Amino acid sequence: MPNETKSRITDGFHLVVDALKLNGIDTIFGVAGIPITDLARLAQAEGLRYIGFRHEQSAGNAAAIAGYLTRKPGICLTVSAPGFLNGMVALANATTNGFPMIQISGSSDRAIVDLQQGDYEELDQMNAAKPYTKASFRVSKPEDIGTGVARAIHAAVSGRPGGVYLDLTSEVLGATLDADAAAQSMVRVVERAPRNIPDPESIKRALDLLASAERPLIILGKGAAYAQADDAIRSFVEKTGIPYLPMSMAKGLLPDNHKQSAAAARSLVLAQADVVMLIGARLNWLLAQGKGPRWSSTTQFVQVDISPTEIDSNRAIAAPVVADIGSAMAAFLAMLKPGQIQPKHAWLDAIAERKQHNTERMAAQLSASPNPMNFSSALRAIRDVLASKPDIYVVNEGANTLDFGRDIIDMHQPRKRLDSGTWGVMGIGMGYSIGAAVVSGKPVVAIEGDSAFGFSGMEIETICRYQLPIVVVVFNNGGIYRGDDVNHSGGDDPAPTILMKSARYDKLIEAFDGTGHHVTDPQTLTRALTAALASGKPALINCVIDPTAGTESGHLQNLNPQTQVGKGKRN
């Protein structure tokens, strides 16, 4: 019931809060200002948790990851025009990654905006949002707020989740309404994400194909992690004995040291598998679109996905299973006969051999102790501290910092690794850390390239203001990819990829009463991280890395076009 019933009058501000509460929303991430300041205030007064950020992109990233972790839409609240646009990168990123999120923004006077007469923060926000979202709505009457919030929730969470924009004009927020009529207008969403039951024929077709395989492989994507069908997925993998490969954010769905993990034999299994079962994983650039030279042209695919239009998007799919992953895995387990699927020994032996070879090579890399530290030696120290703390969230962004981090830091629990994701985007670091810490109450370690950190670095004030248990480790190699490039013009300006090598990021957090550490060797890093985690308080570790240790674009050199006619001045 709207809480203004006694006075018989309520307004748009109250109705938005009522509609969110009625639908189990308990947290808002945002930046206050015209016209939503009072909405934020009222939400807090009414018992929602409001987390105020320094920039809307981070608020949006926090909302997106909260949505991913909870399967409830994360809410980001922004002011009109520039605030709205600042949030849009996060909303678009949520759509791309399949995270349920709603950006609610106030907007300026429609009559003026539509005639482009120059209102304060004028922008046609609803239409601007459309290309980047699953859906974009505007509420123009206070009695439609309940419907608008309900539609936004359905759009964000059902099917493949994504970003939704909900526009609230300043007029609607301030408009009053009879409290009884307002109460009648509220909508409680009965089923946010209705199950999508698979056709039993599609399950049979997929099992038959897998049973005919000699060299089967399962690829787990972040859709599989999102589904929270952890036991069913693990049980299917173990009952069939099929080797599996986790995509980055699916790491930990089964523990990374699981004997069926083929992560350490990735190129071999991609090239040689004859039947590949994709579970909540898309054949996008992260899997080379399923095409050569990394894949065989004869590989056949099973694809389990909630979105029918995903099927056949890059490669022909021999056995599509369109369903939500929980329902699909339950159906697979129900239909699977004991011994029906048995990967050939030769296949498992080849994988085991390659794994051992690659693991030994990696161990040699990890055991070196170069001075200054490189990515491997610093990450080894972090890995060893985290090994006994599986419930800590790991946020990771950068180029080399990301690529080495993904390979070196093992995950042991589902949905604990949060990273640059489908877009390879920089700037998610502090937003994801704050979102994860807020919704879980658990500690977070953010492993950040020095460039990556800069995109959201001011949010360390937010981390300190809310006293969140977040430890930020900045891998300071003095640049994007490397810290040793030179200006090819011979001029004094630093090269385009160069950042300040002598930067003391640890001193930034001290300005907000957090704890800073400056480390130059693995032993000190181990001590600093251990102490920071034990304190449960905000900390930032400036971790000095050899400026020559990284490679251009990390592991993505093939995607980085380079001039073939020389980098210096043309003569």
Ligand X SMILES: Cc1ncc(C[n+]2csc(CCOP(=O)(O)OP(=O)(O)O)c2C)c(N)n1
Would you tell me which residues interact with Mg ion (CB under 5 A)? Answer: 449-450, 477
**223: CB partners within 8 A, 6+ apart:** 98, 160, 279, 280, 281, 282, 305, 306, 325
Instruction: Name which of 414, 393, 433, 467 is nearest 71 in CA terms.
Output: 414
Q: Which of 57, 97, 400, 433 binds ligand X (CB under 6 A)?
A: 400
- 426's contact among Mg ion, ligand X, none, with CB below 5 to 8 A by partner kind, is ligand X
Q: Compute the distance between CA of residue 303 and CA of residue 555 in angstroms, rounded to an integer.
A: 26
Stretch that binds ligand X, among 188-196, 352-360, 395-403, 407-415 (CB under 6 A): 395-403
Q: Which of 161, 398, 435, 514 binds ligand X (CB under 6 A)?
A: 398
Sign of CA dihedral 146, 147, 152, 154: positive
CA angle 23, 14, 466 (to 5 degrees): 75
Asked if 165 is part of the footprint of ligand X (rule: CB under 6 A), the reply reads: no
Q: Report the SS3 class of residue 550.
A: coil
- 198's contact among Mg ion, ligand X, none, with CB below 5 to 8 A by partner kind, is none
Tell me the per-residue interface mask from 122 to 161 with ligand X, x by CB under 6 A, - otherwise.
----------------------------------------
Residues 459-488 that bind ligand X (CB under 6 A): 475, 477, 479-481
Residue 356: DSSP 8-state: H
C-alpha distances (whole Å) from 294 to each of 267, 269, 282, 286, 289 are: 7, 10, 16, 11, 10
Are residues 204 and 335 in contact, defined by beta-carbon separation less than 8 angstroms? yes
Asked if 424 is part of the footprint of ligand X (rule: CB under 6 A), the reply reads: yes
Q: Specify the residue, 310 or 450, whose C-beta has the smaller distance to Mg ion.
A: 450
Q: Specify the residue, 267 or 487, whose C-beta has the smaller distance to Mg ion.
A: 487
- 277's contact among ligand X, Mg ion, none, with CB below 5 to 8 A by partner kind, is none
Q: Which amino acid is at 282?
A: R
Q: Specify the residue, 4 or 450, whose C-beta has the smaller distance to Mg ion.
A: 450
- 427's contact among Mg ion, ligand X, none, with CB below 5 to 8 A by partner kind, is ligand X
Are residues 40 and 59 in contact, defined by beta-carbon separation less than 8 angstroms? no
Residues 532-571 that bind ligand X (CB under 6 A): 550, 554
Are residues 507 and 439 in contact, defined by beta-carbon separation less than 8 angstroms? no
Q: Specify the residue, 433 or 477, whose C-beta has the smaller distance to Mg ion.
A: 477
**202: CB partners within 8 A, 6+ apart:** 319, 320, 321, 322, 323
Tell me the per-residue interface mask from 308 to 347 with ligand X, x by CB under 6 A, - otherwise.
----------------------------------------
| Tokens standing for residue 284 | 């996008």
| Tokens standing for residue 530 | 């251990």
- 229's contact among ligand X, Mg ion, none, with CB below 5 to 8 A by partner kind, is none
Q: Specify the residue, 247 or 447, whose C-beta has the smaller distance to Mg ion.
A: 447
Q: Which of 399, 411, 436, 439 binds ligand X (CB under 6 A)?
A: 399
Are residues 31 and 57 in contact, defined by beta-carbon separation less than 8 angstroms? no
Q: How far is the CB of 404 from ligand X (least distance, A)?
A: 8
Tell me the per-residue interface mask from 425 to 454 with ligand X, x by CB under 6 A, - otherwise.
xxx---------------------xxxx--
Asked if 377 is part of the footprint of ligand X (rule: CB under 6 A), the reply reads: no
Residue nearest to ligand X (CB): 449
**14: CB partners within 8 A, 6+ apart:** 2, 3, 4, 42, 182
Q: Specify the residue, 320 or 429, whose C-beta has the smaller distance to ligand X.
A: 429
Q: How far is the CB of 366 from Mg ion (least distance, A)?
A: 20
Q: Specify the residue, 1 or 500, whose C-beta has the smaller distance to ligand X.
A: 500
Asked if 409 is part of the footprint of ligand X (rule: CB under 6 A), the reply reads: no
C-alpha distances (whole Å) from 532 to each of 50, 70, 71, 79, 563 are: 26, 27, 30, 35, 44
Burial 424-452 (b: 16+ CB within 10 A, else e): bbbbbbbbbbbbbbbbbeebbbbbbbbbb
Stretch that binds ligand X, among 225-233, 382-390, 396-404, 557-565 (CB under 6 A): 396-404
Q: How far is the CB of 553 from ligand X (least distance, A)?
A: 7
The total number of residues shown for the chain amounts to 571
Stretch that binds ligand X, among 223-231, 254-262, 310-318, 423-431 (CB under 6 A): 423-431
Q: Which amino acid is at 496?
A: P
Q: How far is the CB of 467 from Mg ion (least distance, A)?
A: 28
| Tokens standing for residue 142 | 């206070």
Asked if 98 is part of the footprint of ligand X (rule: CB under 6 A), the reply reads: no
Are residues 209 and 25 in contact, defined by beta-carbon separation less than 8 angstroms? no
Binding site for ligand X (CB under 6 A): 398-401, 424-427, 449-452, 475, 477, 479-481, 550, 554
